[in-house]
Structure formats: structure tokens, C-alpha cells
Amino acid sequence: MRRQQGMHLDERYVPYLQMAGLYHLTRLNESWFRLDESLVSAFVECWHPEMYTFHMPFGDCTITLQDMAYQLGLPIDGYYVSGCLTNFHTYIKGGRPSWAWFEELLGVLPHANCIQKFAMNCSWFQETFGELPDGADEPTVWRYARAYIMMIDKSGTRIHIRWLPYVARLEDMGGYSWGSAALVVIPVHVTRGEQPRGEVSRTVTTASVVDLLAISWIQTRWI
């Protein structure tokens, strides 16, 4: 997950984001946190991937599930996030092609040159769903809200359709432990930033949860 860029947080999305348990996360933007690459890089260099901890002069410390709830406002109770990583080829309940389901949920299909296997370019998402039209009816708001939520996953330059089973039913998304899911990927991103040293700056700029959580966690606990 990462701060939205190129997609306006329309107030009409708010009820759906609250329903999904992600509203607080979407409000964490540059007005709340300024990314200090030097500070984050210093912590990345203290990272021990074998133990998933930061090695400090006074001992080891790490980001916890409590931090996911307190810093990012993500739900940490409920169902675990599973299935989206493997069951995206077809719609589980109907066996329909995944792209047919995509069109049903979002009302449009990406151009062929915007698709790579089961992912589409972020730029297409931004251009297509960047601004909710004035006077949009409720089904349209639902579609744009789904797109906005899918754009939260910006750990790369493409959006994967594996999230379709979740955005299909926004009313159920809040029942999942998104904080637990986010906590699992943090060591992966921090470890990528730890080696090689020359890649640290690029990683802290593009890593998703690490940008937000690291700044909040560092400022709250150490500054």
C-alpha cells in the first residue's frame, strides 16, 4: 500500500473506504508525513533480515502489529487475507474469465497495450479513474471507489487483478486483517532496501507501506 498519486480522494468515496476499513490509510499523505529519505535509509541500513529487526546501539527493535493499527489505522482483527494471490485466473464462484469479471466490477477494460498477463499499468488506472464525474450515480461511485482501493497497492508500476475478490464486496473488506497482511510484506521491502546499498534511495521512494509506516514509527518512537 502507498499514498495515492494521480487519483483524487473524492468525498463520495469516503463511505466505501470506511466500509472497507481503509479510510484512515488513504488520508495519510504529504500533509501528514514528509518523506525523509536520509532518515529512512539510516534505519534500513540497521535492518537485520535474518531476525526481521532493526539493530540499534541499545538492542533490537521491530515494527509490530500494534503499530499497523496505531500508525496506519488498519484493522488487525478478522479474517486473514488469502486466496487473492493464487485464485485470480478465474472467478471462484462462477468460473468466468477474470477480465470479464473486471469489466463487470469496474465498467471498462484496459487497452491491450496496457495489460501484461494479469496486471495493468498504473497510468491507465489514473487516466481512467482519476476524477469521479459530477453527478455520478451510485453504481458509478462504487466502480470508482473500487478502482481507488485497488490503486492503494502501488508496490510497482502495475495493478494486479488478484484483488478483485475483495473489491467485489466492499462491505466485507472491513472484516479482514489488513494490518496483518501489510505487516508481512514490510520485511520484504526493507530487505530489498538493505541490499545493495546503492539501491536504498530508490527503494524508500517506491516502497509502499514502508514510506508511511517508517516515518510515522520513527517519529513517534524515536524523535
DSSP string, 129-185: HSSPPTT--HHHHHHHHHHHHHTT--SSSEEEGGGHHHHTTHHHHTTB-HHHHHHHH
Looking at residue 184, its pLDDT comes to: 82
Q: For residue range 62-100, list pLDDT tens digits in order.
A: 888 888 888 888 899 998 887 654 555 555 445 567 788
User: What is the reported pLDDT for 204?
Assistant: 37
* Bridge-based pairing state of the strands 59-61 and 47-48: unpaired
The residues of the chain scoring below 50 in pLDDT are: 1-4, 85, 92-93, 194-208
pLDDT of residue 70: 82
SS (H, E, C) 67-105: HHHHHHCCCCCCECCCCCCCCCCECCCCCCEHHHHHHHH
Stated pTM of the model: 0.74
The strand pair at 59-61 and 53-56 is best described as antiparallel
